[in-house]
Structures are given as C-alpha cells and as structure tokens.
Amino acid sequence: MKERIVVEAKDIITRFGEHTIHNGVSFKIQQGEIFGLLGGSGSGKTTLLREMIMLQKIQGGQMKVLGVDVSKASHVQAQKLMRQWGILFQFGALFTSLTVLENVMIAMREYTNLPDWIIQESARMKLSMVGLPTKVATMFPSELSGGMKKRAGLARALALDPKLLFLDEPTSGLDPKSARAFDELIATLRKTLGISVVMVTHDKDTIENVLDRFIILGNQKVRFEGSMETLRQTTDEELKNFLN
C-alpha cells in the first residue's frame, strides 16, 4: 500500500494572548506510524495534540488530519472525522455518570446500528484487551484508581476501531509493568489493525521501545524530527541531554 500521510502540520502558530507557544511548527505523520510529541514542560505538546483533535484553534498555518483541514472542516466533515479517531485523555476523562462498560459502549450505541449484545460483548472484549478484569465493567469511574481509569479510557478510545489514536501521556501514573504492557498493547494494535498512533509522552522506555519517530518541541519550534537512532547521532548537546 502507498504510504499515506495521516497528520500534516504546516507552519503552525499558536498564541495565548501575548504568549506565543508555537511559531512555525511543521511535521508529517505517516500511516501506521507510532509518532511521539516530546518536549519540556510548557513546550506545547498537549496544545499541539489538542489542535489536531479540534479542541484548540490555531492562529496560523495549516493542520490536516486524515486529509481534512481541521480549521476549515464543515460540521459534517468534522463529525465524520471524529468517528475515525480515538482519544485517550491524560486522566481518562470517563463520564462519571456511566459505568465503565457503558463508557465504552456509548460511542458504538450512538454511531452503529449493531444490536446491544454484540456491542456489549465488544466492549467487554476491549476492556479485557486493556487489561481490566470483568468485575470492573459494572463499576463507576469514581470507584477506580488512576491507572484503571486510564485503561478504561483507552478501551473507550478503541471502541470504534479508530484509524488514528491520540494518546496524552498514556503511561504516566501507571506502574512500570503495566506501562510496558500498555506499550506492547499499542504496538500490537498498530500491527493488527493498522492504527496510526500519535502520543504525547515523557516515558523514556516508551520513547525507546515503541515510538517509530518523534519530534522534540522547544523554543516555539520543532527542535528535532526523526527516530531514536538519528537522535543518538546528533551533535547538539541540548538534544543529547534531553533523554538523560
């Protein structure tokens, strides 16, 4: 299959009032890639992610996701786009009034005409895939720990078999073993379903083991774009220190 571009950012400019976050940020994410957005605190990683999923407006440049320019997308286009991606927010962002199972089922109930039993079974399968035991299904988000909320959030993001998965710090707050299992799960999903993954992360193991390519943001620009191998060969001291 021809290499396709799932996300294309061109000269993105973001400002909050007087404060400039991004000034000409450009990069491309290929289909099937696990792509990382890296950078120090306050470098605008999460902002960049939010711009891709239309939660934040850009002040300049162009952001194309799955071929659609997000700042010019019509309502219909935006709706269609939203069904093709799944998002895991940093703290899960589960709906507190629904049980965990209902949280995973809600998108399938709204957007497919499948009967309830298969929706329920798929939802339970996804919960099991992210490593949650059966008894969690009927619990409410307020009864879960932070790590479990995150897993449930991932199950919800995967509910519609998205083409594109956005993860905001997926392994933060997980114990090391769960974090590696999470990494493995994401790698397997990419392999089997051909999902492209965009993630904001600080986890050094995730960066080394899972990411195909990444960008490092700094000084309102992209400081580095490429893989771990190319980063190791760099002569830039500041970038070298980034991973230590």
Partner 1 sequence: MKQKPSLRLDIQEQTALVLLQGSWVKERIAALCKTDIPITPSQTTHSYTFDFSAVTDFDTHGIMLILHFAKTLEKQGQSVVFQGESPSMQQLLHICDTHYPLEDIEEKKGIFILDSLENVGRQSVEGYRTLASFFSFTGELTHACIAAVLKPLSIRWKATLYHIEQSGAGAIPIILLTSFLIGIVIAYQGATQLEKFGANIFIVEMVTISSVRELAPLLTAIVVAGRSASSYSAQIGVMKITDEVDAMRSMGFSPWDFLVLPRLFALVVSLPLLVFFADIVSVFGGMVIASTKLDVSFVEFIDRIKQTVALKHLVIGFIKAPIFGAIIATIGCFRGFQIDSSTESVGKYTTISVVNAIFWVIAVDALISVLLTEMGL
List CB contacts of 218: < 8 A, sequence separation 6 or more.
39, 40, 43, 238
Q: State how far the Cα of 169 lies from the Cα of 173, in Å rounded to an integer.
A: 9
**By C-beta, is 124 or 202 nearer to partner 1?**
124
For residues 161 and 236, which CB has a smaller minimum distance to partner 1 in the complex? 161
CB of 111 to partner 1, least distance (A): 9
- Decide if residue 160 touches partner 1 (CB under 8 A): yes
Residue 43 sits in the site that holds partner 1 (CB under 8 A): no
Instruction: Please identify, using beta-carbon distances, which residue of 30 and 128 lies nearer to partner 1.
Output: 128
In the complex, the smallest distance separating the C-beta of residue 119 from partner 1, rounded to whole angstroms, is 9
Q: How far from 37 is each of 115, 134, 221, CA to CA, in Å?
A: 38, 33, 12
Query: Which of positions 180-239 make contact with partner 1 (CB under 8 A)?
Result: 188, 191-194
Total residues contacting partner 1 by CB under 8 A comes to: 31
Give dist(CA 238, CA 185) in Å, integer.
32
Please select the residue that binds partner 1; options are 79, 138, 219, 227, rule is CB under 8 A.
138
Residue 196 structure tokens: 């492209």
Closest by CA position to 88, among listed 168, 175, 181: 168
* Beta-strand pair 221-226/85-88: unpaired
**Is 3 one of the binding residues for partner 1 (CB under 8 A)?**
no
Among the listed residues 200, 174, 197, 216, the one whose alpha carbon sits nearest the alpha carbon of residue 89: 200
Where along the sequence are the contacts to partner 1 (CB under 8 A)? 96-97, 101, 108, 112-115, 117-118, 121-122, 124-126, 128-129, 134, 137-138, 140-142, 158, 160-161, 188, 191-194
